[in-house]
Amino acid sequence: MSSPRHVPVLLDRVVALLAPALGHDGATMIDATLGLGGHSEAVLTRIPGSRVIGVDRDPAALALAGERLAPFGDRFTPVHAVYDEIPNVLADLNRSSVDAVLFDLGVSSMQLDLRERGFAYAEDAPLDMRMDSTVGQTAADVLNTYAVGDLTRILRDYGEEKFAAKIARAIVREREAEPWSRSGRLVELLYAEIPAPARRTGGHPAKRTFQALRMEVNDELAVLRRAMPAAIEAIAVGGRVVVESYHSLEDRLVKQAFTAATKSDVPLDLPFVPEGSEPALRLVTRGSEKADAGEIEENPRAASVRLRAIERVRPDGPTSGPTRRRGEA
Q: CATH assignment of 11-110+220-261+279-313?
A: 3.40.50.150
- Tell me if 104 is assigned to a ligand binding site: yes
- Tell me if 25 is assigned to a ligand binding site: no
Task: Report the amino acid identity of residue 207.
Answer: K
DSSP designation for 236: E
DSSP designation for 314: S
Give 133's pLDDT tier (boundaries 50, 70, 90). Answer: confident
> What's the whole-model pTM score?
0.85
> Which residue, among 311, 326, 307, has the nearest Cα to 103 in the 3D structure?
307
Q: How far apart are CA 174 and CA 185, in angstroms?
A: 10
Is residue 193 helix, strand or coil? Answer: helix
Helix intervals (H) in the chain: 11-18, 38-46, 59-69, 86-92, 109-113, 139-145, 148-157, 164-177, 183-193, 196-199, 207-217, 220-234, 248-261, 293-298
Q: Where are the domains of the chain?
A: 11-110+220-261+279-313, 132-217
Q: How far apart are CA 245 and CA 138, in angstroms?
A: 23
State the average pLDDT over residues 30-40.
Answer: 95
Per-residue pLDDT tens over the stretch 170-224: 999 999 999 999 999 999 999 999 998 887 776 788 889 999 999 999 999 999 9
- Tell me if 83 is assigned to a ligand binding site: yes
For residue 110, is pLDDT > 50?
A: no
Q: How far apart are CA 38 and CA 155, in angstroms?
A: 31
- Tell me if 203 is assigned to a ligand binding site: no
Is residue 98 helix, strand or coil? Answer: strand
Please give the distance of CA 172 from its chain centroid, rounded to a whole number: 30
Q: CATH assignment of 132-217?
A: 1.10.150.170
Give 30-59 as a DSSP string: EETT-TTSHHHHHHHHHSTT-EEEEEES-H
For residue 114, is pLDDT > 80?
A: no
User: Does residue 285 contact residue 308 with C-beta atoms inside 8 Å?
Assistant: yes
- Tell me if 321 is assigned to a ligand binding site: no
- Tell me if 39 is assigned to a ligand binding site: yes
- Tell me if 111 is assigned to a ligand binding site: yes
State the average pLDDT over residues 224-232.
Answer: 97
Q: Which of 98-112, 198-212, 285-299 shows the lowest per-residue confidence on average (mean pLDDT)?
A: 98-112
